[in-house]
Structure 1
Amino acid sequence: MTYTFHSDTDPEHDLVCSIEKLSRPVDLDLLAQFQIHGALVDMYGKCGEISSAQKMFDEMPQRNVVTWNSLVSGYLHVRCPGIAVDLFLEMLRVGIAPTPFSVSAVLVGCSQLEAERLGTQDGLESIAYIVVTLAIAYSECGGSLEEFRKICLSVTKWDQISWNAVIAGFSNLGYGEESLKCFFEMRLAGVDVDFFTFTSILKAVGIISALEEGKQVHALVFKSGHAANLYVQNGLVSMYARCGAIDDSKRVFISMDRHDVISWNALLSGCAYHGYGRETVQLFEQMRRTHIKPDNTTFLAVLTACSHAGLQDKGLEYFNLMRNDFFLEPPQMEHYATIVDLFGRAGNLHEAEAFINSMPIEPGLTVYKAILSACQVHGNKEIALRSVKKILELCPNDPATYVLLSNVLETGGYWDDASKVRKLMCDSGVRKTPGYSWI
């Protein structure tokens, strides 16, 4: 028995041919022009012709992180660390995520600034502030733990601002335990905590579901007089919800004098992801009666709840509300993926595939993986193969795709085909990272 990916244009292409087809070259005209400009910025910077590098940089219609890094390095090369650091901060402001090279370069710039100003002590406070800003910005851009630790080692003044930045940084990166350790060290050092500290540490507690530690932080919130702060209250609602303590989350929510969209989102998301589907819908209806306008996060929570609770009609109603209401944010890729999951969990795989084909935006990985997961549950080989072809076009080396396809074939009883997929996975050098328990 064989398996093939069927298409209207070429019905003979099978799985192996589909993968090989992905190696086609793309149109390099614009890409080559972009790379040449970037290479010129790098060359001028390394040659010390920083004005030419800046001119070439300014003329580029688009810039990526490599181009920004080249210009920053160029200014460091000609001993202009102040401009280099300012450029880095501007890069963050325009939404370019830094790389480890970016971080290393700007830390060199900060060191040069310290050396220049050490005799007069002028500007050292601003340098410390830049390092702290770098710590928060780098964590928000999803950097690596190792590079973030390197930034932390560059902090020379451990005041409340510095501790808050490091605690928030570890929380943003998803390392709740590290954030908790820093919080304990901050307390031992006798540094006062503020509402920003509590907001960050409550997020960290929620990440690792440390409910007992969360209750201790809650008690400290009352003792320190921050219980009425809206940001802290939102953090408490979210923390309890993430830990699965939905009743405690509700109690904090009800005790609040006022709510914003973050308050509602925290409670809705907690209920949705812990199986309180119908209650999530009721809360959403209650929110709609307030003056607070739901956003993308709100709809993602309620659509997820409808999907998990099997409320297909309700989920489609809310999705259409989101899509047709001019005053609401338009659906994003994750919302479309949730609707595909909604159809898939109900076993309506053909409806899910038709929905994907009618999407006004190009479907992404999450969309195709949602229908592929549904195919595994319901053993639909044909739709699974079509979905896998799309996934491999987007991400040819994704191990989860091969595993899911193999599982679909096994569920349908196609054992020989499943074995071939596993063999193809090995021959292609694709490896799945073994699962492990965080506990």
Structure 2
Amino acid sequence: MPLTTKSYSQLNNISTQILNFLNKTSISPSQISQIQAQIIHNNLHFNTTIAHNFISVSKSLGLFNSAYNLYTKLIKKPHIFICNTLIQECSHSEIPVLKQNSISMYVHMHKESIFPNNYTYPFVLKSLSDLKELKLGKSVHTHVVKWGYVCDIYVQNSLLNLYASCGEIEFCQQVFDEMPERDVVSWTILIMGYRDCGKFGDALVVFEKMKDSGVAPNRVTMVNALSACANCGALDMGMLIHDEIRRSGWAMDVILGTSLIDMYGKCGKIEHGFWVFQEMKHRNVYTWNAVIRGLALAKSGEEAVRWFFIMERENVKPDEVTLVAVLCACAHTGMVEQGREIFSWLMNEKYGFPPGVKHYACMVDLIARSGHLEEALSMITDMPMEPTKSVWGGLLAGSRLHGNQELSEFAAWKLIGLAPRNSAYYVVLANLYGAMGRWNDAEKIRALMKERGLSKDLGSSSVELEDQKDLLELLRSPNLQVLSIQRCPHVTDETIAKIASGCPLLRELDISFCYQISHKSIALIGQHCPNLQILRRNLMTQVNPSQQEPFVPREYVDTCPQDGDSEAAAIGKFMAQLVQLEIQFSKLTNKGLALISEGCINLEHLDLFGCTNVTSRDIANASSNLKQLKTLKKPTQLCLESQTERYGHWQLYDDRFQTDFFRI
């Protein structure tokens, strides 16, 4: 019967009946088909309430395609609420094909001139983020700009997540810099982005800036910051975060507690991790893994195995990571027989899974280090999967340890075959030939490196020091080229003077958050280090008044001797060779910026993000002197001045929308 002949009360009754059916706890696929027929028969596919419930129930029963076809084939221009519901359900799916449907739905909206709203983009961008569709994400970014949703913080946070998930941390930082307002989610995504791309120090710098801006971190922020601390050995920062958690009065839940244990274990303070372990009311397998892995890293093999057995007695089922950690502990402490026994349990599938390549790598390392090289090689040949770099690396380490040069050579060539762009393996092989007196072969390896465009990587170390004596003891190396002593408030001009005179080959220096350094140190560095090309000088001298206990002790901040213009004068006068300068410094004025631009004419990259006392005119005048300048990061308050300048760089992706999007 046509819709026009039905009374409002009849339609209302039918709608109510359909909604009641959809809200039932038990509904079968056949009933969904009947409901769909009623929706079509009574022309109720325009009802947004019914649509929302029908789409949700269909997805839960695995019948999403029928709902998708209903609202895209039967209705050419569905209501924006229905479109958003379809996109939302697709974006929350774990199935890649369904996530792709959310993008297809957005394309359908574009074709049918259905105008998106601020609820559309977060779901579309989530799907693009999960699928790592960077190119299409940039196209959607241009639409966000065109439709005027650039000031919506939820849309902006979704853009941040897109670029962070795709590893484009520069774009992520650019979007962040241009945001008119930021919340804890914005800061957390940026920290997570830096952490995921391996820039752990930068992640902690962002975390400190977040604290300085007065935004209170949440649990997710703390977990990401602790992960960065764990991966770069920043024990002091990790302990400060732990103190902040205590002061916040947060309960020690599983995720937060496990992150703290992991941080303490990787920083060599597993005993602190045990204190956290005791505080936790609930623990899962990841918590136990963090404890066992921390003991393995501390080379406490017996303790690691003991805790492994305690874990089993507590009826916590080990997973693959648990067995890797305990076998690694056995390898580090030479517990051969214990390792064999645990591996045999694994082979017998006592834990419900067979050994993987990482378990084999641990066993090869354990057996080879104990001197049973033939057995280790036999294990590799009998593996049910292809050996990886870690497997051959274990054999190489054991062979070199026991002086078996022939087997060392064999393993080294295997590693070169697996990773032909890793120069370290060529260097090991060349040194091995040198030790064997095969100088011609060593020369051939070095020629092969040159032919393939490889060079020996510079060595690097990361340590946390207690005082300046430790620092000076460590830096007695005239060949040092890269040095980062950030977040060291106890370092003074005297220390820097000794570093500058003792490290003439320095080409990269990071002295961020060193509050006791003045312009005198900058001058000395410039005079004694003529090869210096990269300088990072990041300071937070303005502590937020609402922050009772800043991460940097207040006495350092209040008494710091810096004068921004004096430091700028020293940089301009003594560091003319710089090509990259990061001077995020609130005390810098237009006078200091002018001195830098006059002296450092070779600058290619300039970061002024924290320089809150310079203006657009100052920057324009400085840029006119810097003919080689390629990238310039303006202070945060200037990122919002020009709408055209702010969004012009995103427009270049818009012409790809037609060619890329409509191929879906």
With structure 1 as the length reference, what TM-score do the two structures score? 0.71
Conserved in 2, the CA contact under 8 Å of 1:211 and 1:243?
A: yes
**How far off its partner does 1:384 sit?**
2.9
RMSD over equivalenced CA pairs, Å = 3.5
Residue 287 (structure 1) aligns with: 311
**How far off its partner does 1:270 sit?**
1.3
**Mapping 1:420-431, distance limit 5 Å:** 420-431=444-455
1: CA distance, partners of 2:115 / 2:321:
40
Residue 228 (structure 1) aligns with: 252
Q: Which runs of 4+ in 1 moved over 6 A?
A: 77-88
Q: Which amino acid aligns with 2:144?
A: L
| Match status 1:401 vs 2:418 | no
1: CA distance, partners of 2:334 / 2:361:
15
Q: What secondary structure does 1:267 align onto?
A: helix
1: CA distance, partners of 2:417 / 2:205:
43
Q: Deviations over 1:64-90 (max 9, x none)?
A: xxx9xxx9xx99x99999799977744
Structure 1 range deviating more: 325-334 or 348-357: 325-334
2: CA distance, partners of 1:129 / 1:183:
17
Conserved in 2, the CA contact under 8 Å of 1:379 and 1:408?
A: no
2: CA distance, partners of 1:325 / 1:384:
32
**How far off its partner does 1:224 sit?**
1.0
Q: What secondary structure does 2:299 align onto?
A: coil
**Mapping 1:361-376, distance limit 5 Å:** 361-376=385-400
Q: Which amino acid aligns with 2:395?
A: I
Residue 630 (structure 2) aligns with: none
**How far off its partner does 1:340 sit?**
1.3
| Match status 1:137 vs 2:137 | no
**How far off its partner does 1:192 sit?**
2.7
- Relative to structure 1, the CA distance from residue 398 to residue 242 in structure 2 (aligned partners, 3 Å threshold; closer, same or farther) is closer
User: Higher RCO, 1 or 2 (CA under 8 Å, sep at least 6)?
Assistant: 1
Matched-pair identity in %? 30
2: CA distance, partners of 1:135 / 1:224:
31
Higher-Rg member (1/2)? 2
Instruction: Number of aligned residue pairs: give it.
Output: 360
**How far off its partner does 1:385 sit?**
3.5
2: CA distance, partners of 1:235 / 1:362:
33
| Match status 1:112 vs 2:143 | yes
Q: Deviations over 1:318-350 (max 9, x none)?
A: 223223226434333222222111122112111
Q: Which amino acid aligns with 2:165?
A: A
2: CA distance, partners of 1:81 / 1:323:
58
2: CA distance, partners of 1:347 / 1:147:
50
- Relative to structure 1, the CA distance from residue 386 to residue 188 in structure 2 (aligned partners, 3 Å threshold; closer, same or farther) is closer
Query: Which of residues 179, 183, 186 is equivalent to 2:207?
Result: 183
Q: Which amino acid aligns with 1:131?
A: L
**Mapping 1:239-250, distance limit 5 Å:** 239-250=263-274
- Relative to structure 1, the CA distance from residue 91 to residue 320 in structure 2 (aligned partners, 3 Å threshold; closer, same or farther) is farther
- Relative to structure 1, the CA distance from residue 402 to residue 187 in structure 2 (aligned partners, 3 Å threshold; closer, same or farther) is closer
- Relative to structure 1, the CA distance from residue 426 to residue 281 in structure 2 (aligned partners, 3 Å threshold; closer, same or farther) is same
Residue 457 (structure 2) aligns with: 433
2: CA distance, partners of 1:133 / 1:316:
44
1: CA distance, partners of 2:443 / 2:207:
50
Query: Which of residues 301, 306, 309 is equivalent to 1:277?
Result: 301
**How far off its partner does 1:221 sit?**
0.6
| Match status 1:390 vs 2:421 | no
**How far off its partner does 1:238 sit?**
1.4
**How far off its partner does 1:154 sit?**
5.7
Conserved in 2, the CA contact under 8 Å of 1:322 and 1:330?
A: yes
**How far off its partner does 1:110 sit?**
1.9
| Match status 1:254 vs 2:278 | yes
Residue 364 (structure 2) aligns with: 340
- Relative to structure 1, the CA distance from residue 391 to residue 178 in structure 2 (aligned partners, 3 Å threshold; closer, same or farther) is closer
Conserved in 2, the CA contact under 8 Å of 1:203 and 1:239?
A: yes
With structure 2 as the length reference, what TM-score do the two structures score? 0.49
2: CA distance, partners of 1:235 / 1:213:
14
Q: Which runs of 5+ in 2 are unaligned?
A: 1-95, 463-483, 485-664
Q: Deviations over 1:244-282 (max 9, x none)?
A: 112111111122222111111111111111221221111
**How far off its partner does 1:155 sit?**
4.5
